Amino acid sequence: MTAAPATVSTSPLRNPWVQLAAGIVCMAMIANLQYGWTVFVDPIGKQNGWGRAAIQVSFTIFVLLETWLVPFEALLVDKYGPRLMVGIGGVLCGFAWFLDSTATTLPMLYLAGAVAGIGAGIVYGTCVGNALKWFGSKRGLAAGLTAAGFGAGSALTVVPLVNMIAASGYQHTFLVFGIIQGTVVVIASFFLVRPPATKPAEAPPKPQVIQGTRDYAPTEVLKSPVFYVMYVMFVLVATGGLTAVAQLAPIAKDFYIDGIPVSILGLTMPALTFALSIDRVMNGVTRPLMGYISDRVGRENTMFVAFLLEGIGIFALMKFGTSPIAFVILSGCVFFAWGEIYSIFPATTRDHYGQKFATTNYGMLYTAKGTAALLVPLSSVVTAATGSWNATLMIAAAFNIIAAILAIAVLKPMRRRDILKQRESLGANPIIAGLSTAS
């Protein structure tokens, strides 16, 4: 008896673009857990008498658990599939904002941050990993579009959040948006299916994109010097960006411009509300755009330009941010230059360490965001000690400029040498993908 031939699923859900769309929706629905947080900080403090530094501990807990648990959650995704895990993540995200709506003590606020971090980490890590595995040579663009959902997902809800807080209080806002966001994630999770076991067919990479030759297990990645260079760079860039995300509203308030009307392109809104809306859009646009560019001109080259731009933007925000229109424009520049780390770094990880363990390997690198979050509460401490935001912003600008230099001077030649050794060990022609010693 001959075995029946294996059948290939023809389900429309197994279309990479369907998977990408479902992932983007999920990411958009968890975006407010991070990017909407800043508008709640002062209302929480005003009602409960808690200081900003104490409140921002909840944000730090959120980011730590959102990032540091991703490698372990990725193992569960491999076992149970993306549908179940993202569904669980959606429930946790909705429940977290319910807890926020009822929190009357700091420990309860911190518990809500922890639940939100676990849920958001499941959704984020699963959706980015799905994008990397469903797409081939366009992985930078795919990761960027997925991350754009997280970066820009809160853009359309900034004004409703601010208005609902003003009209009904922050507790009611937490409850309503928590229910909506959690429910949509659970519904979208039903569209997710397991990615292909082997990498999809792809065109030869551009010469500027340094491409590895084999799959690295997570234990091998942890022994790779390239991983730690990327980790340090990620921490440096994420620190400035997370500070801006968490502290933008307090910065605007301390600059005495938060409520001043600003008119740009026929739109008029208070400076802070305008900045939050533009920042979310810019943070979303940059992720697929920079991912697309990095697919063509190289990851490190794109990193250099973006990180340098963010460093200059943060410095300019410090110098000119007391002008309402300058605050709006420069904060948009900062978010534009920061958001791309969430498309370029996952693509670089997949380039260098292969397809098979892409979700877990990037999950380990993504913990750098959690490490960076440890520094966010210090920004309030430094500001309180110095009496202004100048020192905090100067440090953040310097971090980005250092990361830009590392991308070109350290990471790029290190990756080239590492992959050249891989190819030589396999007997391959080293003059491939721009890896010859002459390059």
Q: What tens digit of pLDDT does each residue of 255-285 get?
A: 889 889 998 888 888 998 888 888 878 878 8
Q: What is the pLDDT of residue 430?
A: 46
Measured CA to CA in angstroms, residue 424 lies from 34, 411, 420, 429, 430 at distances of 44, 20, 6, 7, 6
Given a contact cutoff of 8 angstroms between Cβ atoms, the answer to whether 97 and 175 are in contact is yes
Write down the residue that tokens 């063509």 correspond to: 296
Q: What is the CATH number of domain 13-195+203-425?
A: 1.20.1250.20
| Predicted local distance difference test score (pLDDT) of residue 24 | 93
pLDDT in tens, 67-110: 899 998 988 888 888 999 999 999 999 999 999 999 999 999 99
Neighbours of 159 (CB within 10 A): 14
Say if CB 340 and CB 143 are below 8 A apart: no
pLDDT in tens, 182-222: 999 999 999 999 877 665 555 555 667 777 778 899 999 99
Burial of residue 143, with CB atoms counted within 10 A of its CB: 0-12 exposed, 13-18 middle, 19 or more buried: buried
pLDDT of residue 385: 84
Structural domain boundaries in the chain: 13-195+203-425
Give residue 5's pLDDT: 42
- Name all contacts of 20-24 with Cβ < 8 Å and 24+ positions apart: 20/131, 20/134, 20/135, 20/142, 20/145, 20/146, 21/191, 22/188, 22/189, 22/191, 22/192, 23/127, 23/128, 23/130, 23/131, 23/146, 23/149, 23/192, 24/127, 24/145, 24/146, 24/148, 24/149
Query: What's the CA gap between 196 and 162, in Å, rounded?
Result: 42
Q: pTM for this one?
A: 0.77
Name the H helices within 222-357.
Answer: 225-254, 271-297, 299-320, 324-338, 341-353
pLDDT lower than 70: segments of the chain:
1-10, 136-137, 151, 197-207, 425-439
**pLDDT, the chain, mean:** 86
